[in-house]
């Protein structure tokens, strides 16, 4: 069974304190690795897709990277509005359905 594990479960940061979130998966073979942001009571908002090891994508203070078995979401100099739950999801090479991790809840204090 394909398992997607995100760590840490929760992250409390001071405004401006950079950090990284981890997403790892157990089954080899990757069609795509997806990052989403989810605010409380709302649907996930698409952030990035990564397809191959070594690939990087950036958007404002967020940067996603991918290795063969894990992905990182780096948050640089976060602001309070970056507070949210960040979900990663993986589609294996033989399927297009997504397996989601449980998310990392990030809280940024001013």
Distance CA 6, CA 20 (A): 11
CB atoms within 10 A of CB 2: 14
Taking contact as CB under 8 A, which single stretch among the options 18-26, 45-53, 58-66, 73-81 is the one that binds other proteins? 45-53
Position 98 contacts other proteins (CB under 8 A): yes
Position 96 contacts other proteins (CB under 8 A): yes
Position 34 contacts other proteins (CB under 8 A): yes
Q: How far is CA 35 from CA 45, 77, 104, 109, in A?
A: 9, 19, 11, 23
Contact positions vs other proteins (CB under 8 A): 4, 31-32, 34, 36, 41-46, 49, 87, 91, 96-98, 100-103
């Amino acid at each position: 069974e394909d398992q997607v594990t995100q760590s840490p479960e929760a992250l409390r940061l001071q405004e401006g304190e950079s950090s990284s979130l981890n997403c790892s998966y157990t089954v080899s073979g990757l069609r795509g690795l997806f990052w989403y942001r989810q605010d409380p009571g709302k649907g996930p908002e698409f952030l990035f897709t990564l397809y191959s090891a070594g690939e990087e994508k950036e958007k404002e203070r967020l940067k996603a990277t991918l290795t063969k078995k894990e992905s990182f979401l780096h948050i640089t100099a976060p602001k309070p509005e970056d507070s949210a739950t960040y979900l990663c999801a993986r589609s294996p090479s033989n399927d297009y359905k997504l397996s989601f991790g449980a998310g990392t809840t990030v809280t940024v204090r001013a």
